Amino acid sequence: MPVVTWARRFGPKLFGHRSHGDGGAGTASRRRRLGREAASGPFGRPEYNPHVSSTKATQTGRVFQRVLGGELPFAARAEGATIWDADGRTYLDAAGGAIVVNVGHGRQSIVDAMERQARKFTYVHGTTFTSEPLEAYARAVGRHLPVDDPAIYPVSGGSEAIESCLKLVRSYHLARREPDRTAVIARWGSYHGNSMGALDLSGREPLRRPYEPWLGRFGHVSAAYPYRAGETAAHALGDVDLLVAELEAAIAKAGPGRVAAFVAEPIVGATLGAVAPPDGYWPAIAEVCRRHGILLVADEVMTGFGRTGRWFGMDHWGVRADVMAAAKGAAGGYFPLGLAVASGNVYETITRPALRGEGGGFVHGFTYSHSPVGAAVAGEVLRILETENLIEASAVKGERLLELLRGRLGGHPNVGEIRGRGLLVGVELVADRATRRSFPRSAHLIEAVMRHARAAGLLLYHGTGNADGTNGDTVLLGPPFVITDAELQRVVEILGEAVELAAAEVSAKLG
């Protein structure tokens, strides 16, 4: 059937031309898009599907968007720390998306590396082939990882990396003939991903809540969160001795030889907003784990690849993990990539030939693991980080960002704490600085901050629930390491205004 005839017969039904009757809420770009779809469908040649109704279309089209009920601009291009939309508006990307774009947007050399590999081959199965870019990348990245003699298992993102780490832990203890080591301890106020195992590890209550009936396999101890230390509802402690004692108590409660792993972010990112533990915490925790035969799993998904001003978060304390997860900055947003990393000891224990098939080996796998294109991209990202001294840039610019923020917002009555390491910086907002009381969740303070910032062309990352699992508002900044000083100043200027406007608005509403 010719496309034109097809479009006349089925087009309006298929693509839900509600825009003509939706009260004129559509933007110019949305109208343009719907116009294009009327002619040819979203992917060119449409197919007949009698079950697609015109009344059930989503507000902006057929995509189940991440943001419901809102209208998203169409991204058109991006470079450095700037994103342009289809209407020509610019956005200063102070969050690198979700703290991902460490090397900056629009890197031609990464696109070239991707293309070079893709022209040779894009996919071979991980059980059938290895590839030159993958072998080269694993060799090159190994020397930077806070893991001794590392073996690298590449996957497609942070959640997959965490799931893989959990299975590495289990496989290690099975190989050591300790099948009763099933307990895993994580921390409140953490985020490890949204797949079910990773979510169960996460101590991020707003994300857990809808799925709680399916969760509960893993235990949680307090966050190392000095700002809210001692607040019961925050599940937070700030004193190293207390934190260590609590972990020891959790291990004792699980029973001798029952705990398999302790999993934590070296510096907490998304849930609490760039919270570093007190010095002394990580060495002491690592000692407890080693003494009890518990594997230390470092979730470096957000903190890895220079984000905190060192190659990895654990490097701030010289602590080596047994198992590690990375993602985000590993490929900088140019490819969906995560890494599960096993220490030489963990790898050798699991893969000892004598044990294969009898409790040993690694029963795991994903269709898209060990991607040659992902490895080629990550290899070029790594080269850029090394040759452009971007880890040092993150450290220096992070200090500058903290200084600017403290100058602009340090005295604001609704700013509780400004903190962070390198270019992972958090601003915790409160209703009352003296008591640290936060605004009620229903006031939607952080949404107002984001809205005002976005209206002025600034993109931020945010968190909620840090104070007690429901209430609490944090802004998280994680710009590309190539951000200029003028751009840092602009970030702080717009954020300052956004906080002032939002806090005034919300305070007035609350009376």
Ligand X SMILES: Cc1ncc(COP(=O)(O)O)c(C=O)c1O
Q: Report the SS3 class of residue 341.
A: strand
Using the contact rule CB under 6 A, the part of the chain among 122-130, 221-229, 298-306, 446-454 near ligand X is 298-306
Using the contact rule CB under 6 A, the part of the chain among 5-13, 155-163, 340-348, 422-430 near ligand X is 155-163
Report, in Å, the least distance between residue 270 CB and ligand X: 5
Task: List the one residue from 103, 162, 330, 382 that touches ligand X (CB under 6 A).
Answer: 162
Residue in this structure with the two tokens 């301890």, named with its chain if needed: 185
Beta strands in 343-459 (DSSP E): 415-421, 424-429, 458-459
Task: List the one residue from 37, 93, 200, 299 that touches ligand X (CB under 6 A).
Answer: 299
Pair type for strands 183-187 and 151-155: unpaired
CB-nearer residue toward ligand X: 186 or 502: 186
Q: Based on the number of CB atoms within 10 Å of its own CB, is 298 exposed (0-12), middle (13-18) or buried (19 or more)? A: buried
Asked whether position 327 contacts ligand X by CB under 6 A, the answer is: yes
Report, in Å, the least distance between residue 389 CB and ligand X: 25
Where b means 16+ CB within 10 Å and e means fewer, 477-495 reads: bbbbbbbeeebbebbbebb
Asked whether position 203 contacts ligand X by CB under 6 A, the answer is: no
Report, in Å, the least distance between residue 265 CB and ligand X: 5
Residue nearest to ligand X (CB): 158
Site string for ligand X, 358-397 (x = CB under 6 A): ----------------------------------------
Asked whether position 269 contacts ligand X by CB under 6 A, the answer is: yes
Report, in Å, the least distance between residue 200 CB and ligand X: 13
Q: How far apart are the first and last CA of the chain?
A: 63
User: What's 174-198 look like in SS3?
Assistant: HHCCCCCCCEEEEECCCCCCCCHHH
CB-nearer residue toward ligand X: 92 or 325: 325
Asked whether position 301 contacts ligand X by CB under 6 A, the answer is: yes
Phi, psi (5° rounding) for residue 427?
Answer: -125, 115
Which DSSP string do the residues of 277-293 spell out, in sequence order? PPTTHHHHHHHHHHHTT
Residue in this structure with the two tokens 């450095």, named with its chain if needed: 80
Report, in Å, the least distance between residue 65 CB and ligand X: 17
Task: List the one residue from 93, 163, 265, 380 that touches ligand X (CB under 6 A).
Answer: 265
Asked whether position 196 contacts ligand X by CB under 6 A, the answer is: no
Give the Cα separation of 374 and 369 in Å (integer): 9
Residues 6+ apart with CB under 8 A from 511: none
Task: Give the residues across from 79 on adjacent strands.
Answer: 82
CB-nearer residue toward ligand X: 274 or 431: 274
Asked whether position 304 contacts ligand X by CB under 6 A, the answer is: no
Q: Is the dihedral of CA 224, 299, 404, 461 positive or negative?
A: negative
CB-nearer residue toward ligand X: 339 or 373: 339
Site string for ligand X, 89-108 (x = CB under 6 A): ---------x----------
Task: List the one residue from 141, 302, 424, 431 that touches ligand X (CB under 6 A).
Answer: 302
**Nearest of 425, 366, 349, 343 to residue 161 by alpha carbon:** 366
| Amino acid in the structure at residue 108 | Q
Report, in Å, the least distance between residue 326 CB and ligand X: 9
Give the Cα separation of 122 and 131 in Å (integer): 11
Task: List the one residue from 95, 151, 237, 270 that touches ligand X (CB under 6 A).
Answer: 270
Give the Cα separation of 37 and 416 in Å (integer): 48
Q: How many residues bind ligand X (CB under 6 A)?
A: 15
Binding site for ligand X (CB under 6 A): 98, 157-159, 162, 191-193, 265, 269-270, 299, 301-302, 327
